[in-house]
Amino acid sequence: MNHEFNAVFVRGDIVGDTLFYGRGAGKNATASAVLSDLADAALDLKFGTKYRVPPFVPHECDGAVVPIEDVVSRYFVRLNVVDRPGVLAKIAAIFGQSKIGISSVIQPEGHEGESVPLIFMIHDAKNGAMMKALDKIGKLPVVKSKPMMLRVENFE
C-alpha cells in the first residue's frame, strides 16, 4: 500500500485558500481514469448524447479535430486593472471591436489599492478572436497583469 492521496487547492476571493484531500488510487490509476473520462466525454459530445457511448465506435471515420483558433465556446476572463473611471469602457470597446459579446461583468467589492479584479463572462466566441482581444487588452496601461482566460464548456 503506497498511502496515495489526492488534493485540490482552491483560492477564492471570499473564502481564501482551501484544500480538499482524500485517499486516491495512485498517480498511474488516476491518470488512466482521467484520460478515460476525457475520451468518453469527447465521444458523448461527438454523438450528441448525455449518456456513455458504447466502446469501439468507429468515430474516426467521419470526425476531425478543429483548429484551436476556430473553437467556439463561452469564456471566463479575469483581469487586474487600475481602479479608475473609464477602464471598463476601454476594455469593453476592445471586446466590441472584436465582435465579442459580454454576458456579465463583476468587480468584487472590498478590493482597494493599486489594482482590482475585473471579471467577465463572455458569450460564445472563437478562441482566436478571444486571444487577439486579450492580447490588446493586456497591453493597455490600465491592465496590471496578464489576462487570465478559461474556456467554459457546456455539455447540454
CATH of the domain at 107: 3.30.70.260
C-alpha–C-alpha distance, residues 65 and 125, integer Å: 18
Same-domain status, 75 and 127: yes
Side-chain-facing half-sphere of 42: CA atoms under 13 Å: 14
Same-domain status, 139 and 86: yes
pLDDT digits (tens, 9 = 90+) for 63-105: 677 889 999 999 999 999 998 899 999 999 999 999 999 999 9
Same-domain status, 41 and 76: no
Same-domain status, 46 and 77: no
pLDDT at 62 > cutoff 70: no
CA distances from 95 to 67, 70, 91, 130 (A): 22, 17, 7, 8
For residues 62 and 95, is the Cβ–Cβ distance under 8 A? no
Same-domain status, 56 and 79: no
Last residue of a domain, one of 61, 79, 99: 61
Q: In which domain, by residue range, is 11 found? A: 5-61
Nearest-CA neighbor of 87 among 120, 127, 131? 120
Last residue of a domain, one of 44, 61, 78: 61
Task: Cell numbers for 85, please give them.
Answer: 473611471
Phi, psi of 48 (to 5 degrees): 65, 35
For residues 149 and 134, is the Cβ–Cβ distance under 8 A? yes
pTM above 0.85, yes or no: no
pLDDT at 53 > cutoff 70: no
Q: Please name the residues in contact with 141: beta carbons below 8 A apart, sequence gap of 6 or more.
A: none
Same-domain status, 54 and 103: no
What pLDDT shows up at residue 130?
97
Based on the structure, what is the number of domains in the chain? 2
Span 104-114, average pLDDT: 80
Question: Which amino acid is it at 31?
Answer: A
